[in-house]
Amino acid sequence: MTAPVLWAPSEERRAASTMAAFERWLADHRGLRFDDYNAMWRWSVEDLEGFWTAIWDFFDVQASTRPEKLLVKRQMPGAEWGTGARLNYADQVMKHAEGREDLPALIVQSETFGRRELNWGDLRRQVASAAAGLRAMGVGPGDRVVAILPNTDTALIAFLASASIGAVWSLCAPDMGHVAILDRFRQIEPKVLIAQDGYVHAGKTIDRRAVLADIAAGLPSVAQCVTVPVVGDVPEGHVTWDSLTGDDVAYRAEQVGFEHPLWIVYSSGTTGNPKPIVHGHGGIILEAAKQSLHHDLTDRDRFCWLTSSGWIMWNAQWMALGQGATVALFDGAPNHPDMGVVWRFIADERLTYFGAGAAFYSGCMKAGVTPRAEVDLSALRSLGSTGSPLSSDAYDWIYRDVKADQWLAPISGGTDLAGAFVLGHPGMAVRAGEMQCRALGNAARAYDPQGNELVDEVGELVCTEPLPSMPIYFWGDDDGSRLFDSYFADYPGVWRHGDWISIDAEGHSVIWGRSDATINRKGLRLGSAEIYQAVEGLDSVLDSLVVDLEFLGRDSFMPLFVVPAPGVAFDDALKDQINAAIRSGVSARFIPNEIIEIQEVPRTLSGKKLEVPVKKLLLGCDAAKVVNRDSMANPDSFDFFIAYAAARAQT
């Protein structure tokens, strides 16, 4: 049954959208007219060269040399894009400073620093100065600049400065454990480390000096450390961030190839180190521009996405800056002093677009927050959501208790492609629990295990055509085997993303949760291997297994099953020790909901932990269908989980 319509755009709003402007441009400049959005989507995934060239031209991509052909090799893996192009991501942002120097580019509301605002002239000057400072340190094209910074202007300026040089950027959130950070940065051998020595969160000052010293000691490739001092003096040999941003130098950007590395982000599988995913300048420019159509963004918007600096949405928020919008950054606890603090920020800054993880909206709903009655949201036109499925109850709460006349557009994509598969359309109706459409240029489909397309049935989310923002490679994966195993091992020539999705005949979709064993806590994804490294590093724990039970309409629930070492009591002291290890080595975000004692971890004959079968069992699947006991090394170990699943089903 089709879900009820919660909102529909007026004809005036539809016609004024960037999507409608793009449709008119296609008619005027390409002679292309479509009967409906599905026809337009089909063209975009069939004529990839025509579509992405249209995006390039409509958004006036800055390039010193335009490629003769955008899609050089149409295959997966191994697609090649933009051979011969010379450009720079930073130029796509900085072009908006021309003639707009006094207009606001950034607004930052930080628990640590208070409120500050940068206009476009300030942003360009500080980026140019920081780039000159990095060049003086010997940073050049291809060198890695890494940072441990919160979601403030410092991180953006450092990123744009690095990009303008052609250096490769990588960022971790300051609340991540030192082991998790080192597992990421060691792989890419950075030349410069930029870090903030502390921060304020939920009213408490967090001192990170000792942790940062351990991290710097664990990165022998680092030639220079840059410190943002908050809680103490700058260590000997470090330079201060402020010393890099005060010079008055001309902005200039190195022109690099279309697939020159822009940044490295991390997405974890269930085994091994986090995957260091490399995205290229050109692909991110095109994907961000295309995304702005689906988000309906222009230079008149005031945009905010509530994000940690460790989430891909930190990177994605700059799509708004790339359209000349003012981007507002919120750096602090979203529940301090209460769950209304972010809504007051939205009202005070007159934001037109606000996005957050689904868990934020769910938390506000459960806390009984009623923003429409508490603050002035008259400027707010659009809401976004991602990170995990947004329940129908949350849709209803938003239209009842936030604002009735606004466009709600949940999206779903991922770190791996720095974009979205399914998302919003400003000219379509909003229905509870659904995402409005598949992204232009993105051949997203649902597959059964045999590779047959499913319509209106739950299947694996796949992408059957290459995207320019797909990883150009994993850092250090010289033969491409790790990238192949991550996305292409299940369906030849087709990207498998690891989500369950249903797509109806009209292209409306529902994401049903992860189809693999990756942990997804409020939108932040982590491999189970990182949990195991922290937990099993304790002498008191012999073995462990963790699953994340994320499914539409239910609260996320992450149980951790542990086998205590011989002679160790399973008590609150052990649980506290385990939680402390996760908090220190990984992040407090990944503290389990429950810790349960087991006698042994179920394993395959080859010794692999049966994470996916346990997850499917706990989500309600038939025990006889989720695992073949003949393939298990210890089949009796599964009996505990059958009993545990039955007990949970009764609660």
- DSSP string of 468-522, one letter each residue: TTS-SEETT-TTSHHHHHHHTSSSTT-EEEEEEEEE-TTS-EEEEEESSS-EEET
What is the structure's pLDDT at 269?
Answer: 52
Residue 199 and residue 150 in contact, taking contact as beta carbons nearer than 8 Å = yes
What is the structure's pLDDT at 1?
Answer: 45
User: Comparing 132-136, 220-224, 563-567, 603-607, which segment has the lowest mean pLDDT?
Assistant: 603-607
What is the structure's pLDDT at 105?
Answer: 98
133 half-sphere exposure, CB direction, 13 A CA radius:
26
User: Comparing 16-25, 70-79, 600-609, 635-644, which segment has the lowest mean pLDDT?
Assistant: 600-609
For range 2-9, the mean pLDDT: 89
With a cut of 80, say whether residue 214 has pLDDT above it: yes
Query: pLDDT (tens digit, 9 = 90+) per residue, 359-380?
Result: 789 889 888 999 999 999 999 9
User: Comparing 22-36, 281-295, 447-461, which segment has the lowest mean pLDDT?
Assistant: 447-461
The H or E element containing residue 378 is none
Query: pLDDT (tens digit, 9 = 90+) per residue, 535-569?
Result: 988 989 988 999 988 765 566 789 999 999 889 99
pLDDT interval class at 433 (50, 70, 90)? confident
What is the structure's pLDDT at 100?
Answer: 97
For range 106-126, the mean pLDDT: 98
With a cut of 80, say whether residue 407 has pLDDT above it: yes
pLDDT interval class at 2 (50, 70, 90)? low
Query: pLDDT (tens digit, 9 = 90+) per residue, 270-309?
Result: 456 789 999 999 999 999 999 999 999 999 999 999 999 9
With a cut of 70, say whether residue 630 has pLDDT above it: no
Strand ranges, E, within 371-427: 382-386, 407-410, 412-414, 419-423
Distance CA 557, CA 23 (A): 43
What is the structure's pLDDT at 270?
Answer: 45
For the chain, the average pLDDT equals: 93
Q: Helices 638-649 & 611-618, crossing angle to 10 degrees?
A: 30
Query: pLDDT (tens digit, 9 = 90+) per residue, 130-151?
Result: 999 999 999 999 999 999 999 9
What is the structure's pLDDT at 3?
Answer: 76
Q: DSSP readout, 22-49?
A: HHHHHHHHH----SSHHHHHHHHHHSHH
Distance CA 408, CA 431 (A): 9
Distance CA 172, CA 170 (A): 7
State the amino acid at position 464 in one-letter form: T
What is the structure's pLDDT at 268?
Answer: 62
What is the structure's pLDDT at 359?
Answer: 76
What is the structure's pLDDT at 650?
Answer: 79
The H or E element containing residue 251 is none
If you average pLDDT over each of 253-267, 380-394, 604-618, which comes out highest?
A: 253-267
Sheet holding 444-447, edge to edge: 453-454, 444-447, 459-463, 495-503, 509-514
Q: Which residue has the higher pLDDT, 62 or 274?
A: 62
What is the structure's pLDDT at 228?
Answer: 98
Distance CA 651, CA 645 (A): 10
